[in-house]
Chains A and B, each alone.
Chain A
Amino acid sequence: GEKVEQHESTLSVREGDSAVINCTYTDTASSYFPWYKQEAGKSLHFVIDIRSNVDRKQSQRLIVLLDKKAKRFSLHITATQPEDSAIYFCAAKNYNQGKLIFGQGTKLSIKP
Chain B
Amino acid sequence: EAAVTQSPRNKVTVTGGNVTLSCRQTNSHNYMYWYRQDTGHGLRLIHYSYGAGNLQIGDVPDGYKATRTTQEDFFLLLELASPSQTSLYFCASSEGQGRANTEVFFGKGTRLTVV
- Could you list which residues of chain A lie within 8 angstroms of chain B, going by C-beta atoms? 1, 6, 9, 32, 34, 36, 42-46, 49, 51, 89, 91, 93, 95-105
Contacts and interface: CB of A to CB of B under 8 A. Distances in A.
B41 A100 contact: no
A65 B1 CA distance: 26
Given A1-B59, A89-B43, A102-B42, A95 B97 contact: yes
A23 to B, nearest CB: 11
B107 A98 contact: no
B22 to A, nearest CB: 16
Interface residues of B, number: 30
Contact of A97 (B33, B92, B97): B97
A35 B48 CA distance: 19
Contacts of B109: 43
A72 B33 CA distance: 24
B108 A43 contact: yes
Q: Is the interface of A mostly helix, strand, loop or mixed?
A: strand
A36 B37 CA distance: 14
Interface stretch (B13-21, B66-74, B76-84, B98-106): B98-106
Contacts of A51: 99
A93 B48 contact: no
B42 A99 contact: no
A89 B102 contact: no
Given A100-B45, A102-B42, A103-B42, A93 B90 contact: no
